[in-house]
Amino acid sequence: MENDILVIGAGPAGLAVAAALIDKGRRPLVIEKAQAVGAAWRTHYERLHLHTVKSLSALPGLAFAGEQPRYVPRQGVVDYLDAYAERSGVEPRFGEEATTIARDGEGWRTATRSGQAYRSNVVVIATGANNQPNVPRIDGEDAFAGKILHSRDYRNATPFAGQRVLVVGMGNTGAEIALDLAEHGVAATLSVRSPVNIVLRDVLGRPTQETSILLARLPTRLGDALARFLAGISVGDIRQLGLRRSPISPLRELRELGRTPVIDVGTLARIRAGEIGVRPGIRRLGGDGAEFVDGSKASFDAIVLATGYRAGIDALFPGIVVPIDASGLPPAMAGDGPLAGIYFVGFDTRQPGGLLRTIAAQALAVAARIGATSAVMPTA
């Protein structure tokens, strides 16, 4: 099957690129492994809200509805993506998971798990930085009598009523799952191995997202110093809570490592109140709980691994070396050399202001570049 432009993924990135291309008179083919647009948003934990304001999180051409709150809830994002696809005329082919992408003459041949093959001049990969759960092995996990699940499979606190739950990892997902558990009376503990940067979602009524965008425009050293100072005075000393503050500023950590600071929406208050425990990294698991690296032990009924995701992009290109950074993400938006004609949208986690804001800018840039360089292939 031939089409000039193939977009892989119908999440925010894929929809935004497809809509921008349609706006330019092009008609890309969009394939999606799930059965609906925005599939990841449909299965995120129920408590989730955007940590970025709706005015800076919309995709090109459609604002969030006025009745939505400043920080749109998970279902609101799902509804928005449905409306975006319909309004833009994006009609993905569902149930098609790309497995390999290989050169085919001057173009590309994309094979899918269903056995279908798509030939195109251009391939836009928009499968997301959070495509594959990262599930680390923990010494002794086979002996643990309770349930171990990745955060991808956590929906709400109901199944954990009356249990003791260990949440491994204090990124934004781990912090918010622990908060969700505590808000529903579940005994939650966070295992935090590494130093963290924590910022409040709002300071004096101003979204931290807006502040980070402004700080990023300053000279680097000044912006970093102000970011670290503001985080310190707004969050306070976290050492007494069993947490270690990152030695670099939130802005620098984002810029250099692609690591978003923990945007606090209430977890710290619950830790201070003793409603969420904090432990260091896990040394090993046993039948009824965990031993931590400081030698302490505690019993748990369930463990939630908030240990992140992998993009898994390199596996799509057998025989081609795909440049990826330490996080497994492509550092460039457009491929060159052996990857000419390949575009990566939705993987740049290093920009201030949130990933949706970055996606919106990248979608317009990629559509403009494709519109200027891509020759039209007849559609079969």
Model pLDDT for residues 120-135, shown as the tens digit of each residue: 999 999 999 999 999 9
263, 355 in Cβ contact below 8 A? no
**380 has a pLDDT exceeding 80:** no
Amino acid found at 138: I
Q: What CA–CA distances, in Å, run from 278 to 140, 169, 180, 292?
A: 21, 11, 15, 11
Residue with tokens 């993987």: 347
Measuring CA to CA, which residue among 120, 127, 124, 117 is closest to residue 33?
127
Q: What backbone phi and psi angles, to 5 degrees, belong to 345?
A: -125, 130
Amino acid found at 297: K
The pLDDT of residue 377: 47
The pLDDT of residue 373: 73
**374 has a pLDDT exceeding 60:** no
Tell which wins on pLDDT, 336 or 81: 81
β-strands 147-150, 297-299: how paired? unpaired
Residue with tokens 């309770």: 146
Q: What is the DSSP letter of 304?
A: E
**11 has a pLDDT exceeding 80:** yes
40, 197 in Cβ contact below 8 A? no
Q: What is the DSSP letter of 351?
A: S
Q: What backbone phi and psi angles, to 5 degrees, belong to 178?
A: -60, -40
Share in percent of the chain as helix, strand, coil (round to 5): 30, 25, 45
Q: What is the mean pLDDT of the chain?
A: 95
Structure tokens at 52: 């970025």
User: Residues 6 or more apart from 147 whose CB is under 8 A from it?
Assistant: 301, 302, 303
Residue with tokens 């976290």: 238
pLDDT tens per residue across span 273-304: 999 999 999 999 999 999 999 999 999 999 99
User: Residues 6 or more apart from 153 whose CB is under 8 A from it?
Assistant: none
- Alpha-carbon distance 116 to 98, whole Å? 9
- Alpha-carbon distance 40 to 258, whole Å? 20
pTM of the full structure: 0.93
* Stretch (H or E) spanning 125: strand 122-125
In the structure, what pLDDT confidence band is assigned to residue 307 with cuts at 50, 70 and 90? very high
Amino acid found at 95: G
pLDDT tens per residue across span 67-85: 999 999 999 999 999 999 9
Q: How many CB atoms lie within 10 A of CB 171?
A: 19
